[in-house]
Amino acid sequence: MGEAGESVVTLARWLGHSSPAITLGYYAHFMQDAGSRGRGTIDGLLGERGDRLASRNSPDSPQRR
């Protein structure tokens, strides 16, 4: 259901869990691709500028040392 776009908070409520952390604890292995749609959207919006920002903010970047 999370892959269909529902938030973990909503899933937790539907499942009767007291916290989204419990839902993630049980079901995180089903959500391995979570975030990939968002990354793809941001990549499409930012294009090369996003690549430059990502490399500049990388922990290995000389600017971050």
Q: Which two tokens stand for residue 27?
A: 């079901």
Give the model's pLDDT for residue 64.
47
Tokens 């959500």 sit on residue: 31
Per residue in 3-62, pLDDT (tens digit) is 556 788 998 999 999 998 988 888 777 766 665 666 677 777 777 665 666 666 656 655
Distance of CA 50 to the CA centre of its chain: 16
Pull the structure tokens for residue 19.
């916290």
Distance CA 24, CA 31 (A): 9
Helix axes 8-15, 20-27, angle to 10 degrees: 90
Is 42 within 8 Å of 54 (Cβ atoms)?
no
